[in-house]
């Protein structure tokens, strides 16, 4: 296949940051996606409807002229989020869900939830209002092996949570394991998962290829090949509860190439090209449109986009760096060739 036209996709999990970084990256997503679910892990985090509205206005102001990109906002759940705030969020047309970061699990998660069981009144309110809970699904116990944290979270947190709240709409964000795929597979229609391009394309060997590769470090960390195969099977299975969420997470190069490098992989520069590569490797390019453009809207009860995008088989070289304010940003596949190219109308 030389040319692939798709209904315009959406990104159901994206980090846009703020200020200069926001202005540097938002155009990459807006070029491809009609909408994106914007993560609230700013510092300080986006914890109220008023803060989400203000952040949304900053995103709109940072967009290229005439862009029709629509940011869908999320609230950051804390130990103090009130049921009233949940009610306000549920009634708000631009707020799509509430993000659960177990405190300490990842970048800017310090204000996250310390005891998930103590937030049951808030989960009950979300279940009542049908407001989705978007979950970073990893335990934070340092005694648990970092490669097992998703599987342990499913057993010890997610399954009990869904037993208490069987009607709570829930997205296991950036699922990385076979156990995560099975969790969604056996749950009901209200449970879904997003899949990143980087977890579909790389296994944990990519962290150590010829040396330590900080630009392949993200959370949840890349897993072994058998898990990647399970993710590919899920993405290409036709099960509508698996959909696209890049988790594109820009960090300044200096903060990645450091003695304690932070987690996050930038993929927004070539997100659809990277997903096309993964689907092509799986022999399932014909399943890409459902995964990228139909399944997410179906889960969130939103209309499918009207526009289309086109990818062509044409190689191009990813730049070594992009500008990120005063620093720079190393994208996934920096300096390497990609074989699909998005053509802008």
Position 218 contacts ligand DOR (CB under 6 A): yes
Residue 119: which of Zn ion, ligand DOR, none does it interact with, CB under 5 to 8 A by kind?
A: none
Nearer Cβ to ligand DOR (15/215) = 15
Position 264 contacts ligand DOR (CB under 6 A): yes
Residue 219: which of ligand DOR, Zn ion, none does it interact with, CB under 5 to 8 A by kind?
A: ligand DOR
- Considering only 7, 42, 231, 249, the residue that binds ligand DOR (CB under 6 A) is 249
Residue with tokens 């699922």: 175
CA R_g for the chain: 19
Q: What CA–CA distance (Å, rounded) separates 37 from 59?
A: 12
CB 85 within 8 Å of CB 50: no
Q: Mask of contacts with Zn ion, 209-248, x by CB under 5 A?
A: --------------------------------------x-
- Considering only 8, 29, 78, 107, the residue that binds ligand DOR (CB under 6 A) is 107
Angle, CA of 41, 43 and 44, to the nearest 5°: 100
Residue 263: which of ligand DOR, Zn ion, none does it interact with, CB under 5 to 8 A by kind?
A: ligand DOR
Position 138 contacts Zn ion (CB under 5 A): no
Residue 294: which of Zn ion, ligand DOR, none does it interact with, CB under 5 to 8 A by kind?
A: none
Output the smallest distance, CB 317 to Zn ion, in A. Answer: 27
For 298, how many CA atoms within 13 A lie in the half-sphere containing its CB? 18
* 247 is a catalytic site residue: yes
Q: Mask of contacts with ligand DOR, 39-68, x by CB under 6 A?
A: --x---------------------------
Nearer Cβ to ligand DOR (90/219) = 219
- Catalytic choice (247, 286, 327, 328): 247
Position 215 contacts ligand DOR (CB under 6 A): no
Residue nearest to Zn ion (CB): 247
Beta bridge partners, 102, equal: 113
Q: What CA–CA distance (Å, rounded) separates 237 from 241?
A: 10
Q: What CA–CA distance (Å, rounded) separates 206 from 211?
A: 9
Residue 218: which of Zn ion, ligand DOR, none does it interact with, CB under 5 to 8 A by kind?
A: ligand DOR
Identify residues 139-198 at the interface with ligand DOR (CB under 6 A).
Answer: none
Position 8 contacts ligand DOR (CB under 6 A): no
Question: For residue 49, with 0-12 CB atoms within 10 Å meaning exposed, 13-18 middle and 19 or more buried, which class applies?
Answer: buried
Nearer Cβ to Zn ion (10/247) = 247
Output the smallest distance, CB 38 to Zn ion, in A. Answer: 10
Residue 196: which of ligand DOR, Zn ion, none does it interact with, CB under 5 to 8 A by kind?
A: none
- Considering only 15, 119, 241, 253, the residue that binds ligand DOR (CB under 6 A) is 15
Q: List residues with catalytic annotation.
A: 247
Residues in the site for Zn ion, rule: CB under 5 A?
A: 247
Residues lying near ligand DOR in the complex (CB under 6 A) are found at: 15, 41, 106-107, 136, 218-219, 249, 263-264
């Amino acid at each position: 296949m030389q040319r692939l036209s798709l209904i315009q996709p959406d990104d159901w999990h994206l980090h846009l940051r703020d200020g200069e970084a926001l202005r540097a990256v938002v155009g990459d997503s807006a070029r491809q996606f009609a909408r994106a679910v914007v993560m609230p892990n700013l510092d300080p985090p986006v914890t109220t409807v008023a803060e989400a509205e203000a952040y949304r206005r900053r995103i709109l102001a940072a967009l290229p002229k005439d862009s029709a990109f629509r940011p869908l906002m999320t609230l950051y759940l804390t130990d103090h989020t009130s049921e009233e705030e949940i009610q306000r969020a549920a009634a708000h047309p631009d707020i799509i869900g509430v993000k659960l970061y177990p405190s300490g699990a990842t970048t800017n998660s310090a204000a996250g939830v310390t005891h998930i069981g103590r937030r049951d009144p808030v989960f009950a309110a979300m279940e009542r209002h049908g407001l989705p809970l978007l979950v970073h699904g990893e335990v934070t116990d340092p005694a648990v092996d970092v490669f097992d944290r998703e599987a342990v979270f499913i057993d010890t947190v997610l399954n009990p949570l869904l037993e208490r709240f069987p009607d709570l709409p829930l997205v296991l964000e950036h699922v990385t394991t076979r156990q995560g795929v099975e969790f969604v597979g056996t749950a009901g229609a209200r449970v879904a998962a997003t899949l990143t391009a980087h977890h579909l394309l790389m296994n944990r060997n990519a962290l150590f290829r010829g040396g330590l590769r900080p630009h392949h470090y993200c959370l949840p960390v890349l897993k072994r090949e058998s898990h990647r195969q399970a993710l590919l099977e899920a993405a290409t299975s036709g099960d509508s509860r698996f959909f696209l969420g890049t988790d594109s997470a820009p960090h300044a190069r200096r903060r990645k190439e450091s003695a304690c490098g932070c987690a996050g992989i930038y993929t927004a520069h070539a997100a659809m090209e990277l997903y096309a590569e993964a689907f092509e490797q799986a022999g399932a390019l014909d399943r890409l449109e459902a995964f990228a453009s139909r399944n997410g809207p179906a889960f969130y009860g939103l209309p499918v986009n009207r526009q289309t995008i086109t990818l062509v088989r044409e190689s191009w070289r990813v730049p070594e760096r992009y500008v990120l304010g005063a620093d720079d940003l190393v994208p996934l596949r920096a300096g390497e060739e990609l074989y699909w190219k998005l053509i802008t109308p």
